[in-house]
Amino acid sequence: MSDKPILVTGATGNISSLVIPQLLASGSKVRALVHNADKAKSLSDKGVEVVVGDLENPASLQKAFDGVSAVFLLTPFGEKADALARNAIAAAKKAGNSYIVRLSVIKAGPDAPTANTRSHGQTEKDLKESGLPVAYLRPHYFMQNIFGSLPTIGSEGIIYQGMGDGKLAMIDVRDIADSAAKVLLDRSHAGKTYSLTGPVSLTWHTVAKAFTAVLGRPVKYVPIPSEAVADNIRKIGWGEWAAAVMRDYSAAYGSGWGDFVTEDVKNLTGHPARSIEQFAREVLAPALSRK
Of 157 and 261, the one with the shorter C-beta distance to ligand NAP is 261
49-68: contacts with ligand NAP (CB under 6 A): 54-56
Q: Give 106 or 185: the residue with its C-beta nearer to ligand NAP.
A: 106
Comparison of 33 and 70: residue with beta carbon closer to ligand NAP: 33
Single residue of 50, 91, 103, 183 touching ligand NAP by CB under 6 A? 103
Least Å from the CB of residue 38 to ligand NAP: 8
Quick one: which segment of 29-37, 157-165, 230-238, 280-288 binds ligand NAP (CB under 6 A)?
29-37
Q: How many residues bind ligand NAP (CB under 6 A)?
A: 26
- Residues 82 and 75: their CA atoms lie apart, in Å, by 8
Does the protein bind ligand NAP through residue 36 (CB under 6 A)?
A: yes
Evaluate whether 15 touches 173 at the Cβ level (below 8 Å).
yes
The CB-of-120 to ligand NAP minimum distance in angstroms stands at 6
Residue 145 binding ligand NAP, by CB under 6 A = yes
State yes or no: residue 181 binds ligand NAP (CB under 6 A): no
Which one among 28, 75, 149, 195 touches ligand NAP, defined by CB under 6 A? 75
Among 141, 253, 257, 279, binds ligand NAP (CB under 6 A): 141
Selected from 74, 169, 181, 268, the binder of ligand NAP by CB under 6 A is: 74
267 binds ligand NAP (CB under 6 A): no
Toward ligand NAP, which CB reaches closer, 139 or 162?
139
Q: Does 39 bind ligand NAP (CB under 6 A)?
A: yes
d(CA 74, CA 212): 34
The residue ranges that bind ligand NAP (CB under 6 A) are 10-16, 33, 35-36, 39, 54-56, 74-77, 81, 103, 105, 116, 139, 141-142, 145
